[in-house]
Amino acid sequence: MPKTTAYTASIEYISILDEQGKFDEKLGKGLITDEQALDLYERMTVCRQLDEFAFKLQRSGRMGTYPQNKGQEAAAVGSALALTPGQDWVVPSYRENAALFMMGLPMHYVLQYWMGDERGSQIPENVKMTPLSVPIGTHMLHAAGIGYAERIRGTKNVVATYFGDGATSEGDFHEAMNFASVLKSPVIFINQNNSWAISVPRDKQMASETVAQKALAYGMPTVRVDGNDIFAVKYAMDDAVKRARAGEGPSFIEAVTYRLGDHTTADDARRYRDPQEVEAWIARDPLIRTRKYLESKKLWNQAKDDTLQERAKTIVKEVVATAEGVSKPEIDSIFNAMFAEPHTELVRQRDTMRTSSLGKDPSQTGLKNTTQNV
Amino acid sequence: MATLNLVQAINLALQQEMQKDDRVIVLGEDVGPNGGVFRVTEGLHAQFGDDRVIDTPLAESGIIGTAIGMAMNDLRPVPEIQFEGFLGPAYDQIVNHAARSRSRSRGAITVPLTIRVPVGGGIHAPELHSDSPEAIYAHSPGIKVVMPTTPYDAKGLLISAIRDPDPVIFFEPKRVYRSFREEVPEDEYTIPIGEAKIVSEGDDLTVVTWGASLFQCIEALDNAPDDVSIELIDLRTIDPFDMDMIAESVEKTGRCVVVHEAAMTCGLGAEISSRVQERCFLHLEAPVQRVTGFDTLMPYYKLENEYLVNAKRVGQAIEEALAY
C-alpha cells in the first residue's frame, strides 16, 4: 500500500501592532476600544512601576525574593481584557500580576505575599482566582478541574491559566492539556514564552519549533501570537474564550514575549544572557509600543505621560504602604489554618508553642506533662 | 439489615452520597462502566452518568490535580487511584497542593477531596501493587489519612471523609475487600475521623493495629492463654490518630504492642511508641513492642506471606511484653 498522510497541521502567527507601532487595521479593528487601550496602558505602567519599586524593596531588605514581570505586561492585560471579573477564573503562575489586578485582586496582596505573609494569598471572595503558584507547571491541572466544575454546572464561565515556556516541560503540563481536552473543560492555556527558564534558554528547553505546537497533540486549537502586542493577545483570547463559552473545550495561546528582568531578585541574568539580545527586546517593550499606538491616535502625549508616571508612583507608594502596614500574622494562624477545625494534637502543639515562644506560664495551658512538651 | 463485604459497603456509601449531593463526582482509571478494577464503583456510571462518573486518562497526577481543581470550585470529588503503588506520580499534587491550599490561602481556597486507594498485600498481586505507604502521608501535614478495616466502619468513615471540608486519603485494605461480611445499616451514618475503636476489651496488654493486620491480631488473641486479658484497638484513622484512646488503654494495661503491615523504620508504630512513652511512662510495665513489615521492599508474591505480619509474630511480641 502507498504511504498516505495521517495528519498535517500548521500554526498561525498573529501580530497586529508591531514594534514600530504599525497597526493592522483589518485584524485589529474593534478589538480594543480607545478607552480600553488607554486603560491597559495605564495598568501596564502602574505594574512596571510596582515591579521597579518591588526590586528596591528587596534590595533594601523590606521584602523577600520577588519575580519581576517587566516586559510581559501586554500578555497579562491583553488576555485579562477578554475575561469577566467575578465570573471567569484565573489560575496564575507568578508573572502576570497585571491580569490578577484586572480580575479584582487588590494590588497589595501580591506584595504582602512576597513579603512572607500567607494572607497575601487569602483571595477575596468576589475574586475568582487561585493564589500564585510557585511549583512550576503543576497548577494548570487545577484549571482543568475548576473548568470542569463550571461546565457541569452549566455556566458559561471560563478559566485562564498562565505558565512559562519552562513549565511546558513538566509532566503535569501535558496531563493538564490532556485532561482539559478530554473533559472539554473551558480552559485557556496561556503560555508566556519569555525565552528563559531562569538560565535555560528556550532551545535547550525543547526541541519543538514553537510551544504552540505542543497543543496539537491534545487536539486543541492553538495559535502563536506576538505576546508584547495587546491586540494580538486579545484577538487570540477572544477566539479562545468564545470557544470555551460555547462548550467547545480548551484552547492554547503561545504569547511570545521576553523577561526583561532577572528570573527573581535572587538571580543575575547577566551571568547567562547576551546583552545584545536584551537590548533587542527592550526595543520591543510592550509599553513603548502601546504608547506609540496611543500617540498615533492623538490619544497621548508627553504631558499626559508625565502625569501618568506621577500618578503611578503615588499608587505604588500607597500599595507599598498598605502591604507594609499590615501587622505581623498571629503565630496561632499556622495551626488554625491547617484544617477547618484543628485536631487535638495540633491544639496541643499550638498551646505548647504559645508557652515556649511567647513565655506564658505553662500552668495556664491546662496541659499535663508540660515539662517535656515545652 | 444487609450483610455486606468491604467492597459493597464502600459502593453503598458512594452511591448514597452521590444521590444525596450532586457535587460528589467519582473519577479515576476504569471507574466507569467497568466499575473499577476491584468493582468498588460498580453501577455508579449507569446510575449517575458520564459527567459524575468519569473514566479519566491514565495519569495519576492528572487525576488528583484535576480533582483538586474540582474541589477548589465547590465539587466534592472522590478520585480513585487504582493501587497504592501508583500514588507516587500524584504525591506532588497531594502534598504540595491538596494538603497546602487551605493553609497557604488562610482558608480562602479549600480542597474537600477524598482520595480512595486500595492498599496492602496478600492478594498475590503484581509488583508495586501491595505496599503500605500510610506513614508517608501521615507525616505530611494538611491531609487526613483513614484506613478502615470492616465494612461497617468503611461506610461510616467514607461518608465522613466525603463530607469533610479537607482532603482525606481513604485507604482500603484490599486483602479484606471480599474476605468477610457483616451487617451494615442501609441508612446513612457517619463515624468521626480520628476515633479509634476497641475491638475487644482487656486488662493485661494493649494491641494497637489497623488495616488487614487486624485479623492476624484477632488470631493471636484467640491463641493467647485463657488467663491473659488483652485489649485490641483498631485505629481506623491513621492521621490524626486517637492517642487518647491508646493512652487510656495503656494506662490501664501497662503494656503495648503495635502491629502494622508497613515497614518498621519511621512507620506509624514509631510515632505511637514514642507518644506512649511520653504520656504513659510511669504506667509501663514493659517496653512498647512493634510487630511490623520489614525494612525491605515488599516481596513479589511467592514470599509475601513470609513478609506479612502473622499471628505467630504478634503472639511472640505479646508473650515477651507479658514476661518482661
Q: Rounded to an integer, what distance in angstroms lies between the CA atom of residue A245 and that of residue A87?
A: 12
Ranges of chain B with pLDDT below 70: none
Using the beta-carbon criterion (under 8 Å), do B72 and A130 form an inter-chain contact?
Answer: yes
Q: What is the mean pLDDT of chain B?
A: 97
Q: Which residue of B has its CA nearest to A175?
A: B62
pLDDT at A371: 38
Using the beta-carbon criterion (under 8 Å), do B74 and A178 form an inter-chain contact?
Answer: no
| pLDDT tens readout for residues A184-200 | 999 999 999 999 999 99
| pLDDT tens readout for residues B184-223 | 999 999 999 999 999 999 999 999 999 999 999 999 999 9
Residues of A in contact with B59 (CB under 8 A): 175, 178-179
* Domain edges within chain B: 2-184, 197-323
Using the beta-carbon criterion (under 8 Å), do B69 and A178 form an inter-chain contact?
Answer: no
In this complex, the residue of B52, B69, B108 whose CB is nearest that of residue A145 is B69
Decide whether B2-184 matches B197-323 in CATH topology.
Answer: yes
If residue A161 lies in a helix (H) or strand (E), which one and from where to where?
Answer: strand A159-164
Using the beta-carbon criterion (under 8 Å), do A171 and B61 form an inter-chain contact?
Answer: yes
Cell matching residue B110: 479549600
Q: How many CB atoms lie within 10 A of CB B86?
A: 18
Q: What is the dihedral of CA B241, B74, B156, B253, to 10 degrees?
A: 10
Residues A114-140 as b/e (b if ≥16 CB within 10 A, e otherwise) read bbebbebbbbeeebbbbbbbeebbbbb
Cell matching residue B185: 445499616
Give every CB contact of residue B194 below 8 A, 6+ residues apart in sequence: A343, A344, B144, B237, B240, B241, B242
Give every CB contact of residue A273 below 8 A, 6+ residues apart in sequence: A196
Cell matching residue A336: 488554625
A259 is catalytic: yes
Using the beta-carbon criterion (under 8 Å), do B89 and A333 form an inter-chain contact?
Answer: no
Q: Which residues from A are below 8 Å from B when comparing CB atoms? A: 89, 91, 118-119, 121-125, 130-131, 135, 138-139, 141-150, 152, 171-172, 175-176, 178-179, 182-183, 333-334, 337-340, 343-346, 369, 372
For the domain spanning B197-323, the CATH number is 3.40.50.920
Using the beta-carbon criterion (under 8 Å), do B69 and A346 form an inter-chain contact?
Answer: no
The alpha carbon of residue A289 is apart from the nearest alpha carbon of chain B, in Å, by 37
Q: Report DSSP letters for A167-186, one per residue.
A: GGGSHHHHHHHHHHHHTT--
* Cα distances (Å, whole numbers) of residue A201 to A67, A96, A165, B143, B240: 17, 20, 9, 37, 46
Residues of A in contact with B109 (CB under 8 A): 121, 123, 130-131
The alpha carbon of residue A176 is apart from the nearest alpha carbon of chain B, in Å, by 6
Using the beta-carbon criterion (under 8 Å), do B70 and A345 form an inter-chain contact?
Answer: no
B129 is catalytic: yes
Q: Is B9 exposed, middle or buried (0-12, 13-18, 19+ CB in 10 A)?
A: buried
The alpha carbon of residue A353 is apart from the nearest alpha carbon of chain B, in Å, by 17
Using the beta-carbon criterion (under 8 Å), do A344 and B240 form an inter-chain contact?
Answer: yes
In this complex, the residue of A176, A344, A372 whose CB is nearest that of residue B65 is A176
pLDDT at B169: 98
A263 is catalytic: yes
* Cα distances (Å, whole numbers) of residue A299 to A23, A30, A45: 15, 16, 16
Q: Which of A325, A332, A324, A328 is nearest to A349 (CA)?
A: A332
Residues of A in contact with B64 (CB under 8 A): 141
Residues of A in contact with B115 (CB under 8 A): none
Using the beta-carbon criterion (under 8 Å), do A130 and B109 form an inter-chain contact?
Answer: yes
pLDDT at A369: 42
Contact assessment for residue A190 and residue A259, using Cβ atoms and an 8 Å cutoff: no
| pLDDT tens readout for residues B128-169 | 999 999 999 999 999 999 999 999 999 999 999 999 999 999
User: Position A189: which residue type?
Assistant: F
Q: Rounded to an integer, what distance in angstroms lies between the CA atom of residue B123 and that of residue B125?
A: 5
| pLDDT tens readout for residues A128-181 | 999 999 999 999 999 999 999 999 999 999 999 999 999 999 999 999 999 999
Residues of A in contact with B69 (CB under 8 A): 91, 141-149
The alpha carbon of residue B59 is apart from the nearest alpha carbon of chain A, in Å, by 7
Cell matching residue A81: 481584557
Q: Rounded to an integer, what distance in angstroms lies between the CA atom of residue A283 and that of residue B320?
A: 80
Domains of chain A with bracketed CATH = 12-325 (3.40.50.970), 332-373 (no CATH)
Cis, peptide link before residue B185, omega less than 30° from 0: no
Contact assessment for residue A34 and residue A300, using Cβ atoms and an 8 Å cutoff: no
Residues of B in contact with A124 (CB under 8 A): 108
To the nearest 10 degrees (0 to 180), the angle between helices A140-153 and B60-72 is: 60
The alpha carbon of residue A274 is apart from the nearest alpha carbon of chain B, in Å, by 35
CATH superfamily of B2-184: Thiamin diphosphate (ThDP)-binding fold, Pyr/PP domains (3.40.50.970)
Q: Which of B72, B28, B92 is nearest to B166 (CA)?
A: B72
Q: Which residue of B has its CA nearest to A161?
A: B69
Residues of B in contact with A372 (CB under 8 A): 278
**pLDDT per position in chain A (374 positions), as tens?**
999 999 999 999 999 999 988 999 999 999 999 999 999 999 999 999 999 999 999 999 999 999 999 999 999 999 999 999 999 999 999 999 999 999 999 999 999 999 999 999 999 999 999 999 999 999 999 999 999 999 999 999 999 999 999 999 999 999 999 999 999 999 999 999 999 999 999 999 999 999 999 999 999 999 999 999 999 999 999 999 999 999 999 999 999 999 999 999 999 999 999 999 999 999 999 999 999 999 999 999 999 999 999 999 999 999 999 999 999 999 999 999 999 999 999 999 998 887 765 555 545 544 444 333 33
Using the beta-carbon criterion (under 8 Å), do A175 and B59 form an inter-chain contact?
Answer: yes
If residue B205 lies in a helix (H) or strand (E), which one and from where to where?
Answer: strand B205-209
Using the beta-carbon criterion (under 8 Å), do A123 and B67 form an inter-chain contact?
Answer: no
